[in-house]
Amino acid sequence: MNKPAISTIIVIICLLIIGLYAMGEVNYFSTKIVVEKATPIDSAKIIIPSIGINEKINNQSLNHGVLSDPGENVPTQNPIILYGHRTLQGSPFLRLNELGIGDTFLLEWPGIGELNYSVTNTEIVPAEYELNAVGKNSVYLITCDPIGSTENRIIIQGELASKNPLNTKVIEDNPQESYAIIISAIFLIIGLVFSFFYPKEDRIYILVTVIIISAVLFYCCINPIPSEMIYDKIIFLNGGM
């Protein structure tokens, strides 16, 4: 077997980097399933259809999705502060910047009910800004800005508009349950197609790389590791952000 060309080595390195990011997201979605199934009905949920958010809320880690901090706060009794990543880790708050005053969002909160909120304020502040969260009927949604940077924060403030009985069917639903498998399958399919059209003399190297990475991805769907273990190792690829 001939040694791979320099261009092929570069392609393999690129595939490995893409595979690492895919592995981070696969482990994120797979770990979320494990975490959510541990306490499926006790997890609150935030729903904003206009920007594609349908996420369980946790009080453990930002790396598990949308984080409520402090976790003991309860809506209608305390202000609620929700944090979410804008890039990677599922990017739950990717489109948070699209919310404007008057837009609405929903919290399904066990023990409290279905809570409808209206956006009353939006602002971008420096990362070191200290939020003064007030109002037992207030919710603050926070993420980084701009995309891919931690320089600033977007803060969306909502006020309670109405309260209804809890929709337990919505609470139990997890529209992201198959995302890990989908990401793995997409990587495999695109990788196989790319291998098919790659120059014949070096095709085997690309094919083997794609199959090995895909096998690892599918394995992580079943036996996930914390996604931050991967992203902490490749943070330099994001400029340290």
Which string of DSSP letters, residue by residue, matches 35-92?
HHHHSTTT--EEEEGGGTEEEEEESS-GGGSEEESSTT--TTTS-EEEE--SSSTT-T
State whether CATH 3.40.50.80 applies to domain 42-172: no
191: its two tokens = 């990788």
**pLDDT value of position 147:** 87
Q: Are 227 and 197 in contact (CB under 8 A)?
A: no
**pLDDT value of position 176:** 82
**pLDDT value of position 240:** 42
**pLDDT value of position 241:** 40
User: How far apart, in whole angstroms, are the C-alpha atoms of residue 226 and residue 170?
Assistant: 26
**pLDDT value of position 39:** 56
**pLDDT value of position 108:** 93
- Amino acid at the residue 104: T
Q: Are 19 and 217 in contact (CB under 8 A)?
A: yes
User: How far apart, in whole angstroms, are the C-alpha atoms of residue 58 and residue 39?
Assistant: 10
Residue 112 CA: distances (Å) to CA of 67, 83, 106? 18, 20, 13
Please report, for the chain, the start and end positions of each structural domain, with discontinuous segments joined by +: 6-32+177-238, 42-172
User: How far apart, in whole angstroms, are the C-alpha atoms of residue 31 and residue 130?
Assistant: 31
Nearest 10 degrees: CA dihedral of 189, 194, 197, 199? -140
What's the chain's Rg over C-alpha atoms? 21
Nearest 10 degrees: CA dihedral of 228, 232, 233, 236? 140
One pLDDT digit (tens) per residue for the chain, 241 residues: 578 889 999 999 999 999 999 999 999 998 877 766 665 556 889 999 999 999 888 888 888 889 998 888 999 999 999 999 998 888 999 999 999 999 999 999 998 999 999 999 999 999 899 888 888 999 999 999 888 788 899 999 999 999 999 877 777 777 888 999 999 999 999 999 999 999 999 999 999 999 999 999 999 999 998 887 787 776 655 544 4
The interaxial angle of helices 203-222 and 179-197, nearest 10 deg, is 170
